[in-house]
Structure 1
């Protein structure tokens, strides 16, 4: 815990930092006893005494009157940043810890980068813990960033506002907010750093896809890729290539898909990024199961590669989905149902493409039940798939579910 310092505690800390004794700091205008009382919060100094103490400490009076000193905030922020950057699938009670650490300071956070960043992280922790008041504090953080002209953090605040709507599956509002935030920053800023530009490009492309505007998504995505190549800035490039690979796959553009897969492999080898390497394998398996219906080839690929990768929890639902489809295609219907039954859609998966891939599981399960002669379960499962997919934009996955629905109804 980082307790707030009192005025007396600040004076004592500063005195000791400067290696001054009570007598040395007291000088001619204060007694050692009076200074001791002040440091122990048993006496309140006059403004004249405070000015004298500040002068002998070599600081402005305003520094003594600060309710939180800068070093305190820096130390607190260092601890909070470590808690905040824990991987999603490793989260335990980090957000609760952040709330407990920052809460005593919230009312005192009014200026400076540390204050703004603490407010930003605290507001996000409130949101993730489903507590009220996060919007007001996020706005306050944004206002401080705005005053200080810290564009990257100001942009991050705007992107978070957009992502809140995205997680609510209000994709239109998410895109509107992002475009507004981006426009305002681009209009007021002569220079936007490369990382912020690529963050905007990636999220905008993702959201254009989410609302079903593939043409605009491709334009923004390609602009991001070209900017990255021209400026030799490889931040977000793997995410942009993944988007491009997935788009090519949905259009069954094998040449483009293989091109972007090669780019991803080169990046993965260069960055020693095992997750990127896994994605290329997953993409090949997914293409074989969902588009080519070549289940035997997909199983061979799974057997050859999946075991050599230490798959994290993030990959497990995708792995079960692909194995389930392969088993269905190979006529192993009960084993396929077992795989589909193990799929749990993580609560951080919100994009329509990812959701649509997982919503197919109930359509495949329906086909398995039909093959096993259980028509009642087949009808129940396909109804679930249709209910889930109905609000999603058109994709090959939605087409498959609706085609399966019509087939089973007959």
Structure 2
């Protein structure tokens, strides 16, 4: 009967080999997956008093199932939070909350959590980074220094607009509008308009529009010379509210002499405060037309327009360098260094415990995680917009599949032969 159990151990070994191979094939498309190899050892049962040349093997057993941590193929995605470790190292993730389990992975498919603005994997585990200064230099290393990568959606402080500078060119030969009663909804009641975006104290964007009405032209003398003044009335709206110079209730008049020089108003003109619809509070804005001119047969045009308010910067770009430093850029031109992607290495990666979803956990066999920044202490660099695919060699796995099948068939045949021999003996008896 010993041959039966010997062949049975062979069947179990072939089944294990088949299971491992099947798992490798099933994960050929899994990001960051590492293929496994099964190793077997023979089983010998003997005593000290038994001659060495008379020992008969008792079958086989599974010695170990180890993983191959070779680099997988590269898939380019162009996504800012798709990351890949080149060469040695694992990304470090951690479930939200104090004391949560730390995981290590080669799968760099991360995303921004819309509720927390933290970078997480598909299971919600948060990507860990090391602190950096604003030059991108890592200021601390080791597991105690790690923190979750948080990407603020906004940056900076909103500032309410208090002054607008308008550099305008007015046409000297412009005719008066055909409709004599001004209305911002009647394009025939004004010659042209300019619009500038201003901001309230909360950073809300509000349009500031000035409508220009030509009310008086220069006088043409009999000798062809010009005399008198040219005048333009500037109707100013902040949002849906018309504003006037402080202390008045009439729109100001811009006056030009025969040389096209602005003679009135000069300098900064302060307007009364208004609270347009959608604003968080009143806006008191000053206007400066100091560089406005009037020239020949040109159309009304804005040469330059500026205002001194700003909204908070909105996240516009996220970049990750080869050194793993994460930089956020905002719409107001500001930028932040958010941290350096933490990488982990192990003395014996094959000793890591697989916990599913291409995550591993440290064990006594693997040794403690050695945490550092990309490109230091033997750790690889980080690529943005790329993912590491499975390192499964499908051709080799199909060959292993055939081999496992043949092993299974051979051991099945040995069991069948043992059965036939036993039946023959029983018949003789």
TM-score scaled by length of structure 2? 0.17
Which is higher, the Rg of structure 1 or of structure 2?
A: 2
Structure ranking higher on relative contact order (CA contacts 8 Å, 6+ apart): 2
**Higher-helix-fraction structure:** 1
